[in-house]
Amino acid sequence: MKRHEVWLIVAAALLALPVTGYADPPANFTWPAGQNGSVTASTVDFDRWMYELSIKYIALVGGYPYAYLDPAVADNNDNYILDADELSLIRAICVDTSHPQHNTVHEALKANVTRLETDLGGLAGSLVPPLKLVLAGYMLLGDGGYTRAPNTFEGSVGIVAETIYGMRDYGSGWNTGAPNLALYNLQPATLSWCGDFDGDGVNNAREYYGQCMDRAVWLAAATNSAVARSATGPGSCAGDNDTCLIPGVHFQYVPASQKVYLVTPTEMTWTDAQAYAQALTIGGTPYPSNLMKISNAAENALAWSIASRVGTAWIGATDQEEEGVWRWISTGEQFWQGDAGGSTVGGRYANWRIGEPNNSGGAEHWAEIRSGDGQWNDAGVRTRPGIIEVAGTFADANSNGIPDAFEPFLCGHPECLGVGEGEGEGEGEGEGEGEGEGEGEGEEPCAYEGVLQQEGALFFTLLSANAGPVVQNLAILCGMTGWDNWDLENLGQFLAPPYTCPGDGLPDSFQMALVEYVLCHPRYPAHADTLAGFLHNKAVFDADVAFLGGINPAFYALDLVGHLLPAMIGTSMGARNTVHALILALTGGAIGLPSYASYVTFGAGKTTGEPFSADGDLDVDGLSNLDEYQQVMAVGGDMELFVLAATDPNNFWPGNPALPAAGMIGMGLLVAALGGAAILRRKR
């Protein structure tokens, strides 16, 4: 099909979408009048523009996605402040014509819009008129940057550059050097999260956390120098020295052991991170501590979960005193002798990456845990966040998941207990780092991104070859010919005749996609419970594999799917029964998982309706996950579209109860016109 034909079909599909399918725009919202239309104070509405881009235009331009601009979740500079909240400061000044900074901010925004009309090419005033307006605001914030080779995008400036780069095939000026920052108006000193708009000595981010992350209250504080409530949030701005902790972001509490694990406030060398741990003070109380000691698989899983959020991080192992003699700095205990060909000492735990430690370049004496796979690497002098195991144990008398000693030092007011929960994006592209003699190490943006799908495909292959004729024949009978359509909940039903198709209607691959999404989005409401349940199941599963492997070494092969099965077990009781039956099938019924009863399902311990099950409702929008799956697939959607539908209660996809039937038809035409274009999650 020729490009002009695609445009015609897209236009026809858009006409099929009724206006009633969208929320009515606010009274002050008007579309710009053409490519050179004016931007008046009354038209500055970033929430509306971002909503229009993320929902209405998601499948346009050959499938180029704008989901990363969803105002409800977008946090593209990873500072735990919603982008819509950051941009709201610009809006507040633009609509307040009496504010002393009104003209400066408003004219700067319009100047950026004009420049973007060049850099966005033909798209600036055609199908996506809000795009130049939103990107103009991001550029005005002015934090971050980008490079073209290799392509790296950071912060607000980076999101503009990445968007232009992503549309380079549709007329953007990227290949001529766009965006040229010298031609834009950037205001980082006042408008960025590290800026200080009202000049009261407290940067915008600290005022944001000091005002409980409430937009309206924060705007009043950020524009009024008489209000200077301060609290330090995630990230690092100059002068952020106040004590402020966010559960799950700054620290991790493990109720079972009553241990607390902190992350250093900035990236440091291993030596500096250890010194920081030794000098750790919280609220004036010293807690001389050390970088984390990892003694078993469960503790490694905990450290990995932290590293998956903050990036590859230092742990407390070093051989700086004697090459090849690896000890824990907290105890002096040796756990490893030699290089990659060495061995553990005294049967103690180690999790080195294959080929590590190797002392590349003769100067790698400190251990780090990789964010991508949870394995260890010996590294030289470089900066990383450090994972600190706080000395002592900490009670939680009110059982709220926060140690009592830490509650007075949470970000914001005391009534903001639990701040840091909510929704947000946390994806990105890691950059490989060269090591020594050409040794490269890349990092995944999230430890679980794609892992369950990869292991699922592998497990299906292994199962097809080894499970025996009953499972093989049933898979053929039920049309389950690959991982993408495998649906074997309640497998235990057919271990004896009569054999039926026991699935629950939601393919396991789609169910695992939901789990991956929640695990990789630390601010999604279900993240904390899901991660805790997953780590529990993984620790139990690792112990089970060790138990089975002690009987028959062949069972160590289950390590190949050591994330998939714990995740499946946690999605529903039916899935838990499935995995148990699969293990029985693989072992000929001789032995199953010895700790079967110790596994948990994610969320509330219910036998039906678990959040990830087919009859569950993860996004609590009144439709089950199976309902949303069926409706998305009915209009030609795919797994990515299903994930967006099943995780967002306000989605536009078929499955939104507020969407008229005509809108569903229009959506079907649009998806069909674009060949069911995949909705790709944005990478940074």
What is the per-residue pLDDT across 86-145, written as a single tens digit (0 to 9) for each? 999 999 998 888 889 988 998 899 889 888 878 877 565 555 667 888 999 999 999 888
| pLDDT of 552 strictly over 80 | no
Structure tokens at 94: 């633009």
- Given a contact cutoff of 8 angstroms between Cβ atoms, the answer to whether 332 and 345 are in contact is no
- Given a contact cutoff of 8 angstroms between Cβ atoms, the answer to whether 427 and 224 are in contact is no
| pLDDT of 680 strictly over 90 | no
| pLDDT of 220 strictly over 70 | yes
Give the model's pLDDT for residue 337: 97
Q: What is the pLDDT of residues 495-521, one digit of tens each?
A: 555 556 667 888 999 999 999 998 888
* Higher pLDDT among residues 478 and 384, named by residue: 384
Distance CA 228, CA 207 (A): 7
* Higher pLDDT among residues 299 and 167, named by residue: 299
Distance CA 428, CA 233 (A): 20
User: Residue 467, class by beta-carbon neighbours within 10 Å (0-12 exposed, 13-18 middle, 19+ buried)?
Assistant: middle
Alpha helices in 152-253 (DSSP H): 155-166, 188-191, 204-210, 215-222
Instruction: Name every residue whose Cβ is closer than 8 Å to that of residue 55 and which is 6 or more positions away in sequence.
Output: 22, 70, 651, 652
- Given a contact cutoff of 8 angstroms between Cβ atoms, the answer to whether 315 and 376 are in contact is yes
CATH numbers and ranges of domains, the chain: 31-191 (no CATH), 196-244+410-416 (no CATH), 251-407 (3.10.100.10), 451-598 (no CATH)
Nearest alpha-carbon partner for 62 in 10, 107, 21, 134? 10
Amino acid, single-letter form, for residue 330: S
Distances (CA, A) of 466 to 163, 462, 463, 549, 588: 47, 6, 5, 17, 11
Kindly give the interhelix angle for 661-673 and 3-15, rounded to the nearest 10 degrees. Answer: 170
Nearest alpha-carbon partner for 674 in 23, 57, 131, 67? 57
What residue ranges in 228-300 does DSSP mark as E strands? 251-254, 259-263, 281-282, 285-286, 290-291
Structure tokens at 556: 């160590």
Give the model's pLDDT for residue 240: 54
Distance CA 366, CA 611 (A): 41
Indicate the length of the chain as a whole number.
684
Strand partners of residue 352: 376
Strand partners of residue 344: 336
Give the model's pLDDT for residue 40: 64
Average pLDDT value for residue range 450-467? 79
Q: Is the pTM for the entire model greater than 0.75? A: no
Amino acid, single-letter form, for residue 461: T
Nearest alpha-carbon partner for 293 in 322, 317, 260, 259? 317
187-196, 234-243, 429-438, 601-610: range with highest mean pLDDT:
187-196
Give the model's pLDDT for residue 535: 85
Out of 85-89, 156-160, 273-277, 616-620, which region has the weakest mean confidence (pLDDT)?
Answer: 616-620
- Given a contact cutoff of 8 angstroms between Cβ atoms, the answer to whether 425 and 74 are in contact is yes
Average pLDDT value for residue range 342-356? 94
Give the model's pLDDT for residue 423: 28
Is the bond preceding residue 498 a cis peptide, omega within 30 degrees?
A: yes
| pLDDT of 684 strictly over 50 | no
Distance CA 554, CA 590 (A): 14
Strand partners of residue 325: 337
Out of 361-370, 418-427, 561-570, 599-608, which region has the weakest mean confidence (pLDDT)?
Answer: 418-427
Structure tokens at 302: 């905990």
Distances (CA, A) of 627 to 26, 325, 623: 31, 57, 6
